[in-house]
Structure 1
Amino acid sequence: MRIYTRSGDKGQTSLIYGDRVAKNDLRVEAYGTCDEANSSIGSALSHLTREDWSEKESFLKAMHKIQTILFHVGAELATPKGKEVLWELKKEHIEELESYIDQWDEHLAPLKNFILPSGHEASAGLHMARTIVRRAERLAVALEEELNNPLVVSYLNRLSDLLFVAARYINHQLGGKEIPLMPDV
């Protein structure tokens, strides 16, 4: 299989099942933003290769599973309404995110104010991924009537929560500093 097909050279692309749409179609924006978020998560995780802490392997395993599910969320967004989705997002996937959030949050001090995205490189990268997921969520909301699965919006909402907690968790585990918002600027 060749990487290039030339079929998109005039600004069109194919959804799953072959429907052709403009590359700036809202559906393409939504699944492209999921892909961007996934790449951002992978970039953040690449900063953890030299770090060592007792929960590292379970954290990375969870994050890799989340990346895989996010890839499938993108596929759901790329599937036209009424067509069979090849992999279905389920309520259990959202509950699993909540479980990770609760598990990692147990290690963290309660927030007393807003914090700036900062700290360890992986933490800052996860904050970046969080903001990209929020954009994907906004795009999915705009597509809500066209979605095959309304859980897509819920998953993206919970995923952004998870990425916030994961960023704080990484700072906690690896000594990254959380910088509070300056109240009197």
Structure 2
Amino acid sequence: MVVLNKIYTKTGDGGETALGNGSRVAKHSKRVTAYGTVDETNATVGLARLHASDDMDAQLAMIQNDLFDLGADLCRPDMEKDANAEYPPLRMTDTQVTRLEHEIDAMNDVLSPLRSFILPGGSALAAHLHLCRTVSRRAERLSVELATVETVNASAVKYLNRLSDWFFNASRIANNDGKGDVLWVPGANR
């Protein structure tokens, strides 16, 4: 259980922060940048939820919780030492990835195939979901970049890859099952 009695600690005033294992790193490190962008993604999901209802809101709430799990996963390096940890770190699982895949498939079942790229927009919810998509893509790129120099849980990267697809399909659902999608017209303004 987390207890936060005081929000500021002054321990980061020198440009460093603590990771989940207690080690200190620069706030601009690849790991901090990756999980910080996961946090940004979570904030964009919070905005989208202001426009969502019922099933979509429930699914977005689950994603927000998953994103906290993902941040906890990314902030804890040294996966090979997990077995000896006093408190086993929280890691993303393929079960979370599979849930997203099932939800993507269910949304895809009601959507017509695309015959054009679509522009971010349409309804307010769709526009916010497109923002979620682009920020989650950035989180994925940064996590993949981190994985080139440090160990990263493969399920975490898979989750981020599926998540942007989830947001894309969800944006189409939010646009009246794709009927309100804003289609790209190549060269329209030449």
TM-score by length of 2: 0.87
Contact kept in structure 1, 2:126 and 2:174, CA below 8 Å:
yes
Query: Deviation digits for residues 117-143 of structure 1, max 9, x if unmatched?
Result: 001111101101111111111111111
Q: Which runs of 5+ in 1 are unaligned?
A: 49-55
Unaligned 5+ segments in structure 2 are 83-87
Distance 1:34 1:125, change over 3 A: same
The 1-side partners of 2:118 and 2:72 are apart by 33
Instruction: Kindly indicate whether residue 27 of structure 2 is the aligned counterpart of residue 23 of structure 1.
Output: yes
Question: Structure 2 counterpart of 1:47, which letter?
Answer: H
Whole-angstrom distance in 2 between the partners of 1:58 and 1:116: 24
Match of 1:4 among 1, 8, 32: 8
Cα shift at 1:176: 7.5
Matched, 1:159 2:166: no
- Specify the SS of the correspondent of 2:17: strand
Q: Which runs of 4+ in 1 moved over 3 A?
A: none
Match of 2:143 among 140, 143, 164: 140
Q: How far is 1:6 from its partner?
A: 0.7
Per-residue deviation at 1:36?
0.1
Paired residue total: 177
Aligned counterpart for 1:13 among listed residues 12, 17, 21: 17
Shift of 1:148: 4.3
SS at match of 1:172: coil
- 2:76 is paired with a residue whose SS is coil
CA-CA distance at 1:155 after TM superposition = 0.8
Cα separation, 2, equivalents of 1:15 and 1:87: 13
- Helix, strand or coil at the partner of 2:176: helix
- Residue 106 of structure 1: SS of its match in structure 2? helix
Contact 1:170 1:176 in 2 (8 A): no
The residue identity in structure 2 corresponding to 1:86 is P
Residue 177 of structure 1: CA displacement? 2.6
Residues 1:104 and 1:159: Cα distance change in structure 2 (over 3 Å)? same
C-alpha RMSD of the superposition: 1.6
